[in-house]
Structure formats: C-alpha cells, structure tokens
Amino acid sequence: MREATFIFKNRAKWQQLEDIVDGREEANADELSALYHTTNDDLSYAQTFFPEGESQAFLSPLLRKLHYMIYKKRAVDYAYFIDYFWTEVPSVIARRPLPFVSAFLIFILAFLVGYISSYYDSSFVRVVLGDAYVNKTLDNIASGDPLAIYKSTEATQMFFGITTNNIMVSFIAFIYGIFACLGTVSVLLNNGIMLGSFQTFILENVAMKDYILTVWLHGTLEISAIVLAGGAGMMLGTSWLFPGDYSRFESFKVYGRAALKVIISLIPVFIMAGFIESFLTRHTEWEYFWRAIIVVVSAIFILTFYVVRPIVIFNRSTRN
C-alpha cells in the first residue's frame, strides 16, 4: 500500500481524533480508547512501511496528546487498575472477538466429548483423570463425602499450588498460540474433556445443586479464565495467519501485545479463583444461599468485563 492510499483510507478517522484532541468535538472514554487503539495500530504500520513519511510525523504527536487526555485524571494506581478492566482489556476483545468466540466453542465441544464419552464408557474417566484421582474420589463417596477432595490439602499450600498451576496453564495456552493456534487448541481440548469427564463422574454420586455450588464456586472464575486465555492464544496465532493490511511480523507484534493485556488481566482472576477453591470450596456445610452468592457474583464479574463491555465498545466503534 502506498502512503497516499494509506492516508486517504484513514484520513476521516484521524481528522475526528484531531478534532477531539483540539476540543472541537467531544467523546466518551470508550470512544477515546477505541480511537487510541486503532490509531496506534496505524502508527505502528506507518513506522514500519513509511518511516520517514508524513503519516508518522502527523500521528506521533497526536497520539501523545490523546494518551495524556486519557490518563491525566488517573491520580492513583487503583484508578488505572479499574480502567484496565473497564476499557483496555474489553477494547482488545472488541477489536478481535472471533478468536475468543472460537476458543469458547472449542472448549464447549471438548466438554461435550468428555461428558458423553464418560457417560457411555465409565472407564474413559480413568483415562482422562487418572486412576489415583478416581480411586480417591470413590473412597470419599464410600465415606459419605464425595467432594472431600477439596479438603484433602492444607488451605495455604493448596492456594499456592492451584494458583501457580492455573497461571502457568494460561500462559501456555497463550504462548502455544504461536504455533498456528494448534497448541492453544490442544490446551482447550484437554481442559474441556477433563471438565466434561469430571462432571459426568461426579454427577453420578452428587446432586446437581451440590455440584454447582461446590465445583462452580471457584470454577466460574477458573474455567472462564482458561477459556479467555485460550482466546488470547488464538488471537496471537491468527495475528500472523491472517495479518490483513499489516505484514505478518507487524500484525504479530501489534495483536500479540494486545492479547498479552488479556493474559495479564487474568492473573488476579486466577488468584481469586485459587483463594475460593482453597479456602471456601472446602466448606460444603455452608448454606446454599451464601455459596450461590459467590457463584453469581463471579459470573457477573466475568460477563461484565469480558462479554458485555466488549460488545458495548464494539457497537460504539462501528457507529463511528
């Protein structure tokens, strides 16, 4: 693409951004963020293909001014933390939603494979979960506490072990996306089949409400975060598989950096999930109401920041 064509293609968007920066037009935080991210992509493209061109000279100071407008009111760190979840991460998902939708569908498919396979072949669960885990759970069932597996380890030790493992899984799901998404798909399939098999196995001996209000006490955050990590990995892989107007390397750099924001946002999610699983899930004697509150609040958090907000930002950006 010649620089003149590049400028003509994006001139209207840049003019709108210049009007906002100069105070001739107003925009809300979502619109500012969407404009910043798309124009930053344009600057990266210009720096690669037109390093001495007028587009880079025009965009660089414009983006610095916009960056100041967005961040000048952040007097304390917690405000940035809130904005990171409220604007930056949802903007990443809004810009490329297909990898995250694909990750979700792959995980659901794997879950159904695990569930149906274990339902029709009771030996399948041993293949997936291992004899030691299955035998331990059967012993717990015989003793009258099928979900005692969540009480078998000291809480603090369990917290560090589970949290570290889940964060490692999320980074593996992300990094493996570089291999044409195949590594990420493998992680999603493995975790989905395990969950489906586990659900079939447990529901043979546990009432549905006990299963949901115990396993999904922490699973709402944990499983959602694994799927989102898979989406970030798919985004990394598709960045060079389908670069669009960018070169493969430039697309990989731009969208890989964006996908990493999602992974970083999942670290506190995994920490909270690990805390719930280690310190709260073991209390199966708690009233159903209080456990249901935790499940519902967890679901609202995930849906708000990783589903609803990206949809809102996407819809606003398409209207501009």
- Tell me, yes or no, whether 27 and 150 share the same domain: no
List the end-to-end C-alpha distance of the chain, in Å, as a whole number: 24
- Tell me, yes or no, whether 27 and 142 share the same domain: no
Please indicate, yes or no, if residue 82 is contained in any of the structural domains: no
Lowest mean pLDDT among 100-109, 152-161, 301-310: 152-161
Rg (CA), the chain: 23
- What is the model's pLDDT at position 5? 80
**How far apart are alpha carbons 277 and 275 in whole angstroms?**
6
- What is the model's pLDDT at position 75? 44
Q: Are 257 and 249 in contact (CB under 8 A)?
A: no
Q: Please count the structural domains in the chain.
A: 2
Please indicate, yes or no, if residue 159 is contained in any of the structural domains: yes
Lowest mean pLDDT among 20-34, 169-183, 303-317: 20-34
**How far apart are alpha carbons 54 and 42 in whole angstroms?**
13
- Tell me, yes or no, whether 44 and 110 share the same domain: no
- What is the model's pLDDT at position 30? 64
Q: Are 262 and 232 in contact (CB under 8 A)?
A: yes
**How far apart are alpha carbons 100 and 234 in whole angstroms?**
7
- Tell me, yes or no, whether 44 and 137 share the same domain: no
Please indicate, yes or no, if residue 79 is contained in any of the structural domains: no
- Tell me, yes or no, whether 137 and 235 share the same domain: yes
Please indicate, yes or no, if residue 80 is contained in any of the structural domains: no
Buried b (16+ CB within 10 A) or exposed e, 245-254: ebeeebbbbb
- Tell me, yes or no, whether 136 and 233 share the same domain: yes
Please indicate, yes or no, if residue 254 is contained in any of the structural domains: yes
- Tell me, yes or no, whether 25 and 155 share the same domain: no
What is the per-residue pLDDT across 193-208, written as a single tens digit (0 to 9) for each? 999 999 999 998 888 9
What is the per-residue pLDDT across 31-79, written as a single tens digit (0 to 9) for each? 777 777 777 778 777 777 777 778 877 788 887 777 776 665 444 445 6
Q: Name the residue among 191, 188, 176 with its Cα closest to residue 237.
A: 176
Confidence of residue 167 (pLDDT cuts 50, 70, 90): very high
- Tell me, yes or no, whether 37 and 154 share the same domain: no
- Tell me, yes or no, whether 207 and 285 share the same domain: yes
What amino acid is encoded at 234 in this protein?
A: M
Q: Are 173 and 187 in contact (CB under 8 A)?
A: yes
Please indicate, yes or no, if residue 107 is contained in any of the structural domains: yes
Please indicate, yes or no, if residue 84 is contained in any of the structural domains: no
* pLDDT higher at 298 or 318: 298
**How far apart are alpha carbons 274 and 280 in whole angstroms?**
10
Q: Residue 253: which H helix or E strand, with range?
A: helix 248-275
pLDDT at 29 over 70: no
Among 23, 38, 73, give the residue marking a domain's end.
Answer: 73
Lowest mean pLDDT among 152-156, 159-163, 193-197, 306-310: 152-156
Q: What is the DSSP code string of 144-171? A: T-TTGGGGSS-HHHHHHHHHHHHHHHHH
- What is the model's pLDDT at position 70? 65
- Tell me, yes or no, whether 251 and 117 share the same domain: yes
- What is the model's pLDDT at position 48? 73
Domain that holds residue 158: 91-319
What is the per-residue pLDDT across 242-293, written as a single tens digit (0 to 9) for each? 988 778 888 898 899 899 999 999 999 999 999 999 999 998 889 999 999 9
**How far apart are alpha carbons 305 and 311 in whole angstroms?**
10
- Tell me, yes or no, whether 145 and 284 share the same domain: yes
- Tell me, yes or no, whether 26 and 147 share the same domain: no
Please indicate, yes or no, if residue 83 is contained in any of the structural domains: no
- What is the model's pLDDT at position 73? 47
What is the per-residue pLDDT across 219-249, written as a single tens digit (0 to 9) for each? 999 999 999 999 999 999 999 999 887 788 8
Q: Could you tell me the CA-to-CA distances from 211 to 21, 152, 215, 266, 284 in Å, in that order?
A: 53, 17, 6, 25, 10
- What is the model's pLDDT at position 144? 78
- What is the model's pLDDT at position 319? 66
pLDDT at 137 over 90: no
- What is the model's pLDDT at position 80? 66
Q: Are 21 and 65 in contact (CB under 8 A)?
A: yes
Mean of the per-residue pLDDT values for the chain? 87
- What is the model's pLDDT at position 76? 45
